[in-house]
A and B are shown apart, each in its own frame.
Chain A
Amino acid sequence: MALDDRKSDFNFVGTRPDRPDGLDKVTGRAKFGADVSAPGMLHGAILRSPHAHARIVRINTAKAEAHQDVKAVITRADFSDKPEFRPGLEGEFWNVLENVMAGEKALYDGHAVAAVAATSALAARDALKLIEVEYEVLPHVTDVDKAMAPDAPVIREGAADYSVPEGMHPNVVRYHESGHGDVEAGFAEADLIVEDSFVTEATHQGYIEPHACMGSLGADGRGELWCTTQGHWYAQKYCAALVGIETAQLRVTASEIGGGFGGKTTVFIEPVALALSRKANRPVKVVMSRSEVFRATGPTASASMDIKIGMKKDGTITAAEGIFRLQGGAFPGAPGDMTAMCAFAPYNLTNVRQVGYDVMANRPKQAAYRAPGAPMGAFAVESVLDELCNQLGLDPVEVRLKNAAYEGTKANYGPTYPRIGLVETLEAAKAHPHYAAPLKPGQGRGISCGFWFNHGGETSVSLALSEDGSAQVMVGTPDIGGSRASMALMAAEVLGIPYENIRVTIADTATLGYNDVSHGSRVTYASGLATIKAARHAIERLCERAAAKWGIPVDAVKWENGCAVPSGPNAGDFDPMPLADITADMGATGGPISGHFEATPEGAGVSFGTHIVDAEVDPETGKTSIIRYTVIQDAGKAIHPDYVEGQYQGGAVQGIGWALNEEYIYGEDGRLQNSIFLDYRIPVASDLPMIDTVIVEVPNPGHPFGVRGVGETGIVPPLAAIANAVSNAAGVRMRQLPMTPPRILAALKDNG
């Protein structure tokens, strides 16, 4: 049978059919994390530390346990530090456990210290007040630079790994250094060197749906978990380890998900619900309040960065150097290495050096947020590039084109780039009417490029055909960006049956093989590749059945437009046999027809984007308005262009919030001051212009249809592009995010 390995002409891929989850979501039929209940279900609530850093001297749960509505109270002692079948939790398992429920110390404001299950949510919350915790308050630190200073309080001795040079503060837990060439020699060749420092605050992904789950765990070590998550196999693995049961004995079902953006790639309340359930012997539901989401889930890292770039008068970059210090809460994991590797990735540099630090502070454990680490680095680097262009009187797109990486460029992080699409995005920016549009007084334009690696990851897909010729596809990657529609389109393309005849379901952990989390912009790439391969596997079976019916060899049958057909004139003269004609009697011709694919695809192509932003700054109030915004990004191949544009627009909008308003504000006491949406302001529709999009398609050689991930790259350029637009509008370089009205007014005042 003949199957082309690479397609370039499509019947279904690239169209914009209705989304399969649309009706469920607009009618309220979709079931999110908090939308389930079970007979006898209890409600859980979590007691959280009011201190940024404190030793837990004593916890007295007696009064809470004695309350008639309370069915279970748990502390760290109810989790599995040393389950019998494992030698003890270590590494990231231990970090997650310590974050889920504090051990000897509360490490940040909001850190869980105990939990209650009661007959109502109100009773559970009230019962928390009956738990007595004696704390010994310790000195704390929440700022990244202060956390690295010699006199900073030590959060945990011995947390640093092999990479940290001697003499660093114990809060520095990982160090990265890479690059090539000779930066000093490069700076010596420059006509102009700009050196500057930048800071960004932590922001939250701001998903609309708070974390919610329902767990049930019996004394027999068998459990069920329903939760809103980007990865239910991850939840299964971690919850099983933390409560000390075997992985396969916990069945996890992913609910419909109301946004994740990286923040739902780990567990917070799920092990708590299971531990409460085991103790109470009843199902337990836990739903976070928004304040809990802010205080105790994973925001981004905050960052402090120093950038130095040298340029010739013609715009050629001669050398670039960046130092990126990222604070990721009271645990290792801040992506200083990713920031360092991504920041200069768009450029073809002869001399480059980048250093990243992972620093602990008394804040919640950072989690991923779309291209984790990359947006901050781009903000710093692209701001300096903008300053160089301004001082040398050069066009910012031309300078980026002059220095742009392309196929064959040695990347700043080492390898030689394969086929990439940065130049195409810059050419599209140059040609876009937005770039030539006149600006009014008080307005400024900003440009930025951005880069993200993208990811493959473990992936399993099953595809089952029905007797009537329709198909169901079981994938294991929660749909956070329209993947059910994309999977259906790719399956339709291969099978040759209508999109509407395919139903895609997110299977639970008991009904499909292992799947990595929906992260790293991997789903359309990896689950898509697996769907294509599973559909091709099913087609092999279909061709076998057709060959048997016709009495010809299977290699004389090929698949075309949804039908088995003879592969050539010598194969015999038979009418095309549609898929539904083969499936109609499949039970009697060999049994059910399905296709499967399990692998770890290793061909996720990197992706680039270029953003153009116009901003207007009110010099009286310091308020910034985004006047016009254009996103240009390489998608490789856009499977469902509506969703791709939605990802681009969403990245821009979240970037606008990060750039202008969003920040974690800590008081002197180390407590978060703005843990609700009234005080932590994300952009709303009235803050935004229509975000224009341009989809560039430079196919990824590692995917049968050319797909590159699109979910993350879109948030890399906005911070820088907006900062450049605001700086150009205000006439003063903005070095700190968010660029709130008070900060802009202060900058204008300092500038005279």
Chain B
Amino acid sequence: MVEVHLWSGLRSLTGGRQVVEVEAKTTGELLRELVRAHPQLQAPIDAGVSIAIDGRVIASGLTEPIPPGAEIYLMQRLRGG
């Protein structure tokens, strides 16, 4: 199981939980499993999220491997100028 840390604004979509656990080996699986466990997360994920794996920000890739025990944070998708 992977512990996924959400930003606090998402707590209202996960029954108040800011850390949720899912089974995932890649970033794509992680997003899919997040929605399966918490269907209301579909909206923020559709709006665009990035995933930080041990501090490395994966902007959009769905195929990045998630090592066992990695620190995982869901972040809002970054935009630049």
Contacts and interface: CB of A to CB of B under 8 A. Distances in A.
Nearest to A455: B80
Interface in B14-66: 40, 43-44, 47, 52, 54-61, 64
A262 B47 CA distance: 21
Contacts of B80: 262, 368, 371-372, 452-455, 519-522, 712
A520 B76 contact: no
A161 B43 contact: yes
A162 B81 contact: no
A163 B60 contact: no
Contacts of A583: none
Interface in A519-564: 519-522
Which secondary structure dominates chain B's binding surface? mixed
A602 B61 contact: yes
A341 B58 CA distance: 16
A372 B81 CA distance: 6
Nearest to A416: B55
Nearest to B80: A520
Nearest to B76: A337
Interface in A446-467: 452-457
Given A454-B80, A521-B80, A522-B80, A177 B8 contact: yes
Interface in A163-211: 163, 165, 175-179
A165 B56 CA distance: 30
A720 interface: no
Contact of A414 (B44, B64, B73): B73
B81 A261 contact: yes
A600 interface: yes
A104 B73 CA distance: 41
A417 B6 CA distance: 17
Interface string A218-233: 0000000000000000
Given A338-B79, A453-B57, A455-B80, A161 B64 contact: no
A369 B56 contact: no
A88 interface: no
A371 B81 contact: yes
Given A163-B9, A413-B7, A372 B55 contact: no
A457 B79 CA distance: 10
Contacts of A45: none
Contact of B78 (A165, A338, A414): A338
Contacts of A263: 81
A604 B78 CA distance: 12
Contacts of A163: 9, 43-44, 47
Nearest to A370: B81
Given A262-B81, A338-B78, A417 B58 contact: no
A161 B10 CA distance: 13
Interface residues of B, number: 28
Contacts of A457: 59
A370 B79 CA distance: 10
A98 B27 CA distance: 34
Nearest to A368: B81
Contacts of A176: 7, 9, 76
B61 A600 contact: yes
Contacts of B8: 177-179, 353
A418 interface: yes
A411 B40 CA distance: 26
A335 interface: yes
B75 interface: yes
A602 B78 CA distance: 12
Nearest to A261: B81
Contacts of B47: 161-163
B2 interface: no
A590 interface: no
B5 A602 contact: no
A175 B7 CA distance: 12
A341 B73 CA distance: 13
A415 interface: yes
Contact of B54 (A179, A371, A416): A416
Considering residues B13, B52, B71, B80, which has the most beta carbons from chain A within 10 angstroms of its beta carbon?
A: B80
Interface in A274-291: none
A415 B57 contact: yes
Nearest to B27: A602
Contacts of B73: 413-415
Nearest to A452: B80
Contact of A602 (B43, B64, B75, B81): B64
A702 B54 CA distance: 13
A619 interface: no
A415 B71 contact: yes
A369 B47 CA distance: 21
Contacts of A454: 80
B71 A520 contact: no
A265 interface: yes
A50 interface: no
A262 B54 CA distance: 29
Contact of A178 (B9, B12, B43, B54): B9
B37 to A, nearest CB: 17
Considering residues A353, A368, A413, A712, which has the most beta carbons from chain B within 10 angstroms of its beta carbon?
A: A413
Contacts of A165: 12
A712 B81 contact: yes
A561 B57 CA distance: 35
A364 to B, nearest CB: 16
A603 interface: yes
Nearest to B64: A602
B75 A413 contact: yes
A599 to B, nearest CB: 9
Nearest to A298: B81
A410 B76 CA distance: 17
B70 to A, nearest CB: 10
A177 B6 CA distance: 10
Given A162-B43, A163-B9, A177-B7, A414 B57 contact: no
Nearest 6 Cβ contacts at the A-B interface:
A262-B81, A520-B80, A368-B81, A162-B43, A415-B52, A177-B9
Given A163-B43, A177-B7, A415-B55, 7 more contacts: A163-B47, A176-B76, A178-B7, A179-B8, A338-B79, A353-B8, A372-B80
10 contacts: A162-B40, A163-B47, A177-B9, A261-B81, A414-B73, A416-B71, A452-B80, A453-B57, A453-B80, A457-B59
Interface of A: 161-163, 165, 175-179, 261-263, 265, 335, 337-338, 341, 353, 367-372, 411, 413-418, 452-457, 519-522, 600, 602-604, 606, 702, 712
